[in-house]
Structures are given as structure tokens and as C-alpha cells.
A and B are shown apart, each in its own frame.
Chain A
Amino acid sequence: MAEELIRMENIGKFYGRVQALKDVNLVVNRREIVGLLGDNGAGKSTLIKVLSGAVPASSGDIYISGRKVKMKSTNDAIANGIETIYQDSALVPQLSIARNLFLGREPTIGPAILGRLDTAKMNEVSRELLKQVGISKNIPPDTPIGMLSGGERQAVAIARAMHFDSELIILDEPTNNLGVAETRGVLNFVRRARDTDHACILIAHNIHHVFQVVDRIVVMRHGQVVADNIDPKVTSVDEVERIITGMEEEALL
């Protein structure tokens, strides 16, 4: 029996007069990888922003492990174990790997008022995390993020999400602009996240990438969830594409 982690109930979101989300219901279970698909403007990003505290919902409720929570800011989401990895904005290119990994939750040493970074600890944990997410090359933790490849950056962002006691990791287009080998690497990180008891929501334009790794697919269209229990093992890519574009309904009409 799947254990429920996140429940979003009747989520609505207006931007001025434009309704971006309409009565959306979404459930994510523990150790489950959910693929969230939809065309441009379907409402995927807005839904993720609501769940990650980046924008407030206009209506509806969010429950985590059965407990109703308010998501007023990204800090609320992080405190509730939700980590979001945005496409290009997850990391600061000028900062080192270690400083990025601990950004916002930097360990300090000595008197609190001095706020001195515990760089030894940051570097040690970073080395360990880089190993865990499978960056085999010997990259020093003080290397600036700007010097890493796209795949390595995603790996660092995922490593960060896994480290801070998060329960749900949201990945927004993690395979965009990546090569074949790097994409394979990122999808492996997602599998590894599930193996370490994390749940994931994966948003990707490339349906084939989603099919390779998710347990369940949810499709959105025009701000609503139109299918929420597609099993990638028994459904074809073509069928999912038809649901995304709405051709399924047109065929019925």
C-alpha cells in the first residue's frame, strides 16, 4: 500500500483575471517518481511554483503526510521537506560547489555573531555528496559552478536536494540542453533519489526521458489535471502525446 506524502486539493491560481490553475488535485506517494507532463501553458510550472512556495495559491489546500500546511514562501516549502531544482536558476555560477550546496543553510564555526563559515565541514560533506551522486571525476569542492558541465551542475543541485532531509524533490526540466550521456546521468540521479527514500516530481518536455524513469505520469492541460494515473509500463508514448495535445478527446467527439 503506497504511503501518501503530498496531497494538493482543489488548487486554483489566478494571475489577475487569467486563471492558470483550476481545481487541481495531485497526490505524490513516498518513494514515487511522478512525471508531470503538459504542453506550454498547461499550468505545470505554476503548480510547481505553488508547491514550492514561490507563488501563493488563490484557493485550495496542501497536505504533507496528512498535515495541512501553508506555503507562503520558499522557506516554508524547504522547512516542510520540499526541494525544487529549477531549470537554470538552481545554482550561482560564481560560487563554488561547496558554497552552492550549503547556500541558505551554511554551517558556521565559532561565535555566532562572527558568522564564520565552517569551510572544512562544507568541503568534506561536498566531496562525499559528489561521490554519492556519481561524479567520479576528482572535482575539488572549491571549483566554481560556472566551470562545470550542464550535467554536473544538475548533479550538484540534486545532491543538495538529497542532503537536506528533503522528502520531495521537484525537478523542473533537468535534462534541457544536456547531451545524451549527461541526460543518462541525470536520470540515474533521479533513480538514486528514489532508492534513498525520496519522492520526485519530474517535469520534462522530452516524454522519452520521463518514460525511462517515472512510476506514474500526470498530464495537465489548460490549467487542469486531465489524467493522473498513467502507468508508463502499459501506456505508449503516442497515447500520452495524444492526451497532452487533447487529440484523445477530439477523436471521441
Chain B
Amino acid sequence: MNNQYFLRNLIAKPEFGPFVLLALEIAIFTAINPNFLSPQNISNTLAFTVELGLIALAMTLLMTAGEFDLSVGSVFGFAPVLMWTLFNSEIMPLGLAFFVALLVASLIGMANAWFVARLKIPSFLVTLGMLLVVRGTALFVTDGFPQRTWSAGGSFLADILVGSFNIGPFRIYMSLFWFVLAVLVLGYVLNRTKAGNWIQAAGGNPGAARARGVGVEKTKVALFMLSATLAGFSGIISSIRTSAANPNSGTGYELEVIAMVVIGGTALTGGRGTIIGTVLGIFILRTMRNGIIMVGVPGLAYNIFIGAIILGMMALHSWLERRHQAGT
């Protein structure tokens, strides 16, 4: 009886479906191509996965509070462009340029929040507009050309952001450390803290939250700033690792990140979010991208699989939600 109760509870959890899907993906890809689980492939996949993952983690909190941020991809491209422009023009040292770029990213988040919280414009429209403004600025400032980044090699900043080391046969980048740290901190904030309670309340029923004295607007401002700052941070990490700060980089990331979050089980309508689910969502999509290439499916077919996964997972989450509402 107890076992049955445990099993039902386990299946009802939003993370259960994504977990099964990820396990299936890994099993199928490994069965077709054993190299899929090779240390080299895992190391390569992890390097970029965690960079995109940082944005998805912040987006989880924002979406739990009932908002979106479509400008993250453009901030991902803009922040490194700004940092390298400031540094290469000898306006300031690299460390200071790093902080200025993050500060500007957070101000972009604050501007998003101002339109959403103060002017009551839907975040979908606000951040769509901001996407164009930020991307356009990056292209204008650089004339559309990538910035030089080779002078980062050996600097302290490069070491702590993307330094790599080997653990056995695995090559691990420092970005994995930042990702794990973000998972722990944001997971703790969402599930264990007063701020997490406010985030869920702001998305679940903002009217009720306001009536209880919860600072719904302040909470959203903080989350928009977090989202943009982590997008900028992630873009800078990526630019140093790949030695390229391209004003066009990050194009389309916003949709991939939102897909990762909803596949993981965070409610699109707000009020309920899961960091563990997002971690699973991140790995589901990146494993799929890597796996279909490894097993010989043309890369151009990638979007077919991603679309199918999103539809399938949405159907599953909706079914679980209905069961939950019915109390079964």
C-alpha cells in the first residue's frame, strides 16, 4: 500500500516525466552509437550546455513569477561585445569591463521590468522590443563584425570563468562550477526561502499576493535583472571559451531556453517552478541536439525532434495537472 502511494506520488511530480525522457534519450543514443557516452563527447556537450543552462535557471524563476524574457539571447550577444569593445579600445582593464558589461546587462533587465511592472505592458511584448533594441545596438556598435578576444588568454578572469582542468578522462570547464553553484543557490531560493514564496505567489495569484503586502513588482524587477545579468554572464563565458564576441551570437536562444524551462515542468502560466526540472529540460534538449548528430540524423532535422518533445511534454504536464486538480 505504502509502495503504491510512493509510486503515485513519484509519478505525479513534474520532474518525473522529464527524468524518464532523459533516461530514454541517453539509452537510445548509446545503444545506437556507444561513443555517445565517451568522455570526449560528454566534455564537449557539457561545455556549451551549462552556458545556456545558466540563462534557463534564471528564466525558471522569472517564469514562476509569471513573466517571460525574450531579450536574453540578445543580451547574451551584447554583453561580451560591450566588454571586449571597452577593453580593446583601452578604455578600461578587462576586469572592470567585465563588471561594467554585467552592470549594463542588469540595467537592461531593470528597463524590461519598468515597462512590465510600471506600465503594465505584457512581458512578451516588452522583451521582444528590447531584443531588437539590444541586438540592434550590438550590431551598430560593431558594424556587424566580431570583436577581438584573443588577449583574454591567461588572464585571471578567463581562468575563473572558463579555465579547464581534467578529472580522469573528462575535460571540465569552470563554467560547470558556475552552473552547479547557480542550481544550488536558485534551487534554495525558490524552494526554501521567503523570496521563493513571493516568487511563486507573484505568478500564482498576484492580486492575492499584493493584498498580503507581498512586493510583487519588486520581486519581478529583481528577477528581470537576474535574468539579464545571467544572460550577460553566460555570453561573456561563451565568448572567452570560443575566443569570439559576435554581435549576432545568442540569436534564437530565448526560445530554446523557454523550451528547456517548460519541458522541465515549470508552469507557463506562472505560480509553479522547478529548478531540478529545468536542469533535466536543459539536458534533454542538449542531449537531443548532440545525440541526433551522433547517430547520423541530419542536423537540419533537429527542430522536428525538439518540437515533438515540447508537444509531448506539454501533453504530459497538462495530464498531470488535470489529475492533480481532480485530486487523484
B214 CB contacts on chain A under 8 angstroms:
103-104
Per-residue interface assignment for chain A, residues 112 to 143, with 1 indicating a CB less than 8 Å from any chain B CB and 0 otherwise: 00111100000000000000000000000000
- Contact of A108 with B by CB under 8 A: yes
B193 CB contacts on chain A under 8 angstroms:
108, 114-117
Q: How many pairs of A and B residues are in contact by the CB < 8 Å rule?
A: 79
The residue that A103 contacts in the complex, of B201, B203, B267, with Cβ under 8 A, is B201
Per-residue interface assignment for chain B, residues 197 to 215, with 1 indicating a CB less than 8 Å from any chain A CB and 0 otherwise: 1001101110111111110
Number of interface residues of A (CB under 8 A): 29
- Contact of B271 with A by CB under 8 A: yes
Q: Does the CB pair A75–B200 fall under 8 Å?
A: no
A90 to B197, CA, bound (A): 15
Interface hit among A91-99, A180-188, A217-225: A91-99
Number of interface residues of B (CB under 8 A): 25
Question: What's the nearest-Cβ distance from chain A to residue B117, in Å?
Answer: 15
Closest to A90 in B: B208
The residue that B213 contacts in the complex, of A78, A86, A94, A116, with Cβ under 8 A, is A78
Q: Does the CB pair A75–B192 fall under 8 Å?
A: no
Q: Which of A172-231 contact B (CB under 8 A)?
A: none
Q: Does the CB pair B197–A95 fall under 8 Å?
A: yes
- Contact of A39 with B by CB under 8 A: no
A115 CB contacts on chain B under 8 angstroms:
193-195
A93 to B196, CA, bound (A): 15
Q: Does the CB pair A94–B272 fall under 8 Å?
A: yes
A115 to B212, CA, bound (A): 18
A91 to B271, CA, bound (A): 12
Q: Say whether chain A's binding surface is mostly helix, strand, loop, or mixed.
A: loop
Q: Say whether chain B's binding surface is mostly helix, strand, loop, or mixed.
A: helix
Per-residue interface assignment for chain B, residues 164 to 188, with 1 indicating a CB less than 8 Å from any chain A CB and 0 otherwise: 0000000000000000000000000
- Contact of A46 with B by CB under 8 A: no
Q: Which of A49-73 contact B (CB under 8 A)?
A: 52, 54, 73
The residue that B212 contacts in the complex, of A104, A116, A144, with Cβ under 8 A, is A104
A86 CB contacts on chain B under 8 angstroms:
207-208, 211
Q: Does the CB pair A108–B208 fall under 8 Å?
A: no
Q: Does the CB pair B211–A74 fall under 8 Å?
A: yes
Given A115-B194, A115-B195, A117-B192, are A92 and B211 neighbors across the interface (CB < 8 Å)? no
The residue that A106 contacts in the complex, of B197, B207, B327, with Cβ under 8 A, is B197
14 contacts between A and B (CB under 8 A): A86-B208, A89-B208, A89-B211, A90-B208, A92-B208, A95-B200, A104-B209, A104-B213, A105-B213, A108-B194, A116-B192, A117-B193, A117-B196, A147-B324
Q: Interface of A with B (CB < 8 Å)? A: 52, 54, 73-75, 78, 84, 86, 89-95, 99, 102-106, 108, 114-117, 144, 146-147
4 other A-B residue contacts (CB within 8 Å) besides A84-B211, A86-B211, A95-B200: A89-B211, A93-B204, A103-B209, A108-B193
